[in-house]
Structure 1
């Protein structure tokens, strides 16, 4: 079996991270290189992790770099043939990494393998099994809160969320976009992997449990929405962006309504400002991505959803206006993509 490196990001959450590390130590695939990237924790995490897990490779960042940039630091030193990044609030079943690694080796064209993630506090309920992506870039866990079943089959997904990938994919993609501080960094990497012609598939035999907490904080909306627009600018062709522009405008109108009524409209303005300031770098990345892509947007959007569904969010405007319009519009532009 190929060697495996697992990278975890910790930020002021030492006990939760410890549970994740212990589950990695109990994997039946043999020794796993465990790398923890601490993002400037102030709760004594560094001292605790050093004393409790002296064999773990601990990277000490002076401040909070964000999720993707911290993972990149771990990827730079990882020695495994297969690489996996983990949220620190995940606990892996003992055979999880072995199942992921075997599935990853089943085809040269698999660029990532996704586990089945269950709620830790809802026995038999699924947190995610891959990620559903709307053509406007909005992401939602696939099979959220569905009943688990032993008869689930692998399928190709547009986005991994958490996934294992071979070292060769890291070398081709150079990992996560360092300018995506938090949210959509996994979506962006998945998209770029698919643009290179690889598939991302699920593995129902690989199971993790997740201490899921739905975050309704305004920073999440601000960072997620900013990064969503950036990854669309980087990864879609100009023609596709023009075709979906009316749908993007509808989503922005809904986001503005939410921002105004929930007190984050200044952050929404800030996100536009930061997108404009970062546009030269975004366009440079876009040029590189578009020059190496191997598949067209029709193939990419073949796994994208027309109807918008958001886990944990229900609102009359979403259900009665926005989602039906996006579905109607998406169905009509697909033949032109």
Structure 2
């Protein structure tokens, strides 16, 4: 399968700069999910906020009131121990390693003997281990890509269209994998998970910093409709130095791709500070409605900002999502629901200091 556009690392000396990658692993039988978030900031090392991090949002091992997920994370201050391919979805960052060897792609059988704390994604092999206090995570799995972004029988497309190749939008955004299958294992705290054909989703962002405000929805497991997947996002981005509110919805179903957003129809939304996501979109051929909700508190995660990593984003991987897709003049094409949706709000999307920390994380 061809790599989608923007798969490679975008840094070419810019400062300030960040690039972040998100990989979600879902075990359909149990509904348990693990979201891996990798990031690098200011790799030129000429800025106070320079370094990298890995965060993993997984099942809470000690059930707290109204909470089902917990975050394990680790920062890696040295940008010299980070590597990434300029052409492919491949990267790694070492925290602690044997012999202080240079960061570079390793054979899978060499990784754990060499890297005591860190991660790598190389040749569709995902590996890593981190420790955060008394919490730890260790993982190794291989991903088989199935659907990227766009019609499956055509070349993968840029999520933001051909204009994304010009220095217009900040930040950039690309769906790397709408659906794939993973085979391998993961040790989360004291629990050992082994899986075959687990579902995978992946995306990335890059630029000066995350938007000042945004929302996001993602799901690729609808029990009654195998292969159905959807990603939606909206918020405020910078276009040629000016803020612009924009939203996009992309949906794959039975070999077809349905896209709504700039140049592909209109999108309207009502998104609460937390708990409710309502989106509608249409173009001259199709329409879609998305309704997401959660009564859980969600979990705070870090995102890159111009002032470094901050806890300014709230997530759940156990949200409810109801989807309807129809053809104009011909009725409903598909409707489905799932309770394993990823739901998110971030930045100043109505969030206050009362429920969202703005503390900067030093590398």
Query: What is the TM-score of this pair, normalised by structure 1?
Result: 0.27
Q: Which has the higher strand share?
A: 2
Query: What is the TM-score of this pair, normalised by structure 2?
Result: 0.26
Q: Which has the higher helix share?
A: 1
